[in-house]
Structure 1
């Protein structure tokens, strides 16, 4: 038997004693008189849909009818029902049987929505909701977010610009406009090795900046999920005790990935140095491809270590184990969301570089066919490129760090019911 909203559930009540004193014959007489009058005295003007409703403790008891009698009452018109099958007593002309509160003009009792005290609903998230939550965090807390991202972007890009200008690179040798093209595999290997140095430094600086920004932005995202305001100074105060461990993490993870690449390509380089240049080149390419697969797997495996370290106050090794545990069984989902983050970063970077290129062409004009590639590496051009990189980093670092932090929370919600703890914590703030 289903209880209707607002009515007393079946159980012991003061009317139980009256029920014992009243016989079945008296109840049948009362029910018959009530049906002849059309509207019993204990019924209200608005009635819920017909069905098996529990009796109120305040009114006189009604005789319980069997399943066959209830079916006959819903299909056969009764006295005062206006001939409408299944009509509500006392309301003539009602259309056929009604099945729910929505048909009776009542609000429908649907599935309850997840609470959302902050930027995301506290339930398992879709990929689009993770992106939306990161963007919403940047929009709501733009002062703290942009202050942190601009500081990190300017610092890392300034160092990258100096390194890019002063580094003895071999990459111009690979460009037909920049100098002599390598004629032997040995020269090509040397050019690639020289170019990998500058690329490696730039990549390492970018990774350091991303992890440093993630350390502070993770604190902001964790507060934004609960709807709490936070400033850059408060984020710094909360993240400062963990910065030493974060430094260890941002050294260990890149060194691990670099080590994988070194192991992958060192055999081909040794073979090429021994004199078998073509075989060494082929072996280097295959080793680099295998190393890229392994490094990608490790990167996703430990991609949630930074938020785990910051929010759970764990050490470097414990945070890496925590990330591996959260990613286990959901590697492809984490990889897809991280790939979306990379695509967003690349798209914003290309847009910023296009704006700088249009501005440079508008100011300096286009060069002739004899323009050297070295002209694009002078200080003026590098500063323009650096400004574009700072703008793109200031916009993409919060999105990337926010998506990683929200992905970490989403994995904990799916595996450990973190949403229950977050709802409780959000309720304590009110």
Structure 2
């Protein structure tokens, strides 16, 4: 490795890692990951939020339609509750899945420009992110099924909740193991199985670190929805957490870059691939 002379200390030191964007193109420490998320929000947050709002406006349409149907059907309490359960709740779940996939796809589209310090635009981000949503969903749904499937099957079989406790460590381990699959699918365009394998390979040897970065999202977003529901109802409980989704997705994106930099040294590949968010 090439070295350079430093006058401070009077010795030879290796050259500093290049930092064209929000983080250095080298393995990152925990503080650098957090600093990279804050730097990305500071530099690109407005355009990221604008792209997210435009994308979510389309996703809110079926939720609004379901809410209208529930309101019209609420002439009697029984009819209203039936419509709420069978239309509004599934629409809300689909909206949250779409919001998560959109946020992940936007974070994946923003990853390379953020690493390289390149400009982006709202239309450019959307053009890059929207085609990646199916790949992200394709990776997200199997990951959720692998993590929650055993517990759901046990509940469906009528087992008591306490009987599910032995399954909790397995579900948590699988959730963290596949935590980078949606980002890998969005960034590399991988299919579901390939994205799961990619995440498992990148997380191997860094399970606890991945858990420390991704776990706050699993706690804070439902907590925000729960806190907002009494004052703002279902729209606020859905929209505000959806707007917060880019923060953990950016953290997962930088962690994905960190794991690749540690295992594959792809700094040149990040710079060589074509731009995906510019105007």
The bucket for the TM-score relative to the shorter chain is 0.7 to 0.9
1:121 alignment counterpart: 24
Aligned length in residues: 258
1:401 alignment counterpart: 249
1:60 alignment counterpart: none
Q: How many angstroms does 1:207 deviate by?
A: 3.3
Q: Give yes or no for contact 1:246–1:306 (8 Å, CA) kept in 2.
A: yes
Consecutive unaligned residues of structure 2, counting only runs of 5 or more, are 74-83, 275-279
Q: Give yes or no for contact 1:341–1:403 (8 Å, CA) kept in 2.
A: no
Distance in 2, matches of 1:334 and 1:211, equals 19
TM-score normalised according to structure 2 size: 0.74
Give 2:121's match in structure 1, choosing from 231, 235, 245.
231
1:206 alignment counterpart: 96
Q: How many angstroms does 1:405 deviate by?
A: 0.9
Q: Deviations over 1:276-318 (max 9, x none)?
A: xxxxxxx421343344433322221211112212222322211
Q: How many angstroms does 1:101 deviate by?
A: 6.0
The yes-or-no answer on 1:318 pairing with 2:194 is yes
Q: Give yes or no for contact 1:217–1:235 (8 Å, CA) kept in 2.
A: no
Q: How many angstroms does 1:231 deviate by?
A: 1.7
2:236 alignment counterpart: 387
Q: Give yes or no for contact 2:177–2:203 (8 Å, CA) kept in 1.
A: yes
Q: Give yes or no for contact 1:119–1:133 (8 Å, CA) kept in 2.
A: yes
Give 1:294's match in structure 2, choosing from 146, 170, 179.
170
The yes-or-no answer on 1:259 pairing with 2:149 is yes
How has the CA–CA distance of structure 1 residues 116 and 261 changed in structure 2, closer, same or farther, with 3 Å as cutoff? Answer: same
Q: How many angstroms does 1:228 deviate by?
A: 1.1
Q: How many angstroms does 1:421 deviate by?
A: 4.0
**SS of equivalent to 1:148:** helix
The structure carrying a bigger helix percent of its residues is 2
Distance in 1, matches of 2:31 and 2:217, equals 11
Structure whose CA Rg is larger:
1
Q: How many angstroms does 1:256 deviate by?
A: 3.9
Q: Deviations over 1:17-55 (max 9, x none)?
A: xxxxxxxxxxxxxxxxxxxxxxxxxxxxxxxxxxxxxxx
Q: How many angstroms does 1:410 deviate by?
A: 0.7
Give 2:54's match in structure 1, choosing from 140, 145, 151.
151
Q: How many angstroms does 1:155 deviate by?
A: 4.9
How has the CA–CA distance of structure 1 residues 339 and 128 changed in structure 2, closer, same or farther, with 3 Å as cutoff? Answer: farther
Q: How many angstroms does 1:423 deviate by?
A: 6.4
Q: Superposition RMSD on alpha carbons, in Å?
A: 3.8
How has the CA–CA distance of structure 1 residues 346 and 247 changed in structure 2, closer, same or farther, with 3 Å as cutoff? Answer: closer
Q: How many angstroms does 1:319 deviate by?
A: 1.3
How has the CA–CA distance of structure 1 residues 248 and 343 changed in structure 2, closer, same or farther, with 3 Å as cutoff? Answer: closer
1:57 alignment counterpart: none
Q: Deviations over 1:65-105 (max 9, x none)?
A: xxxxxxxxxxxxxxxxxxxxxxxxxxxxxxxxxxx9657xx
Q: Deviations over 1:203-255 (max 9, x none)?
A: 55423311222112211122111111122322333344444433433443334
TM-score normalised according to structure 1 size: 0.51
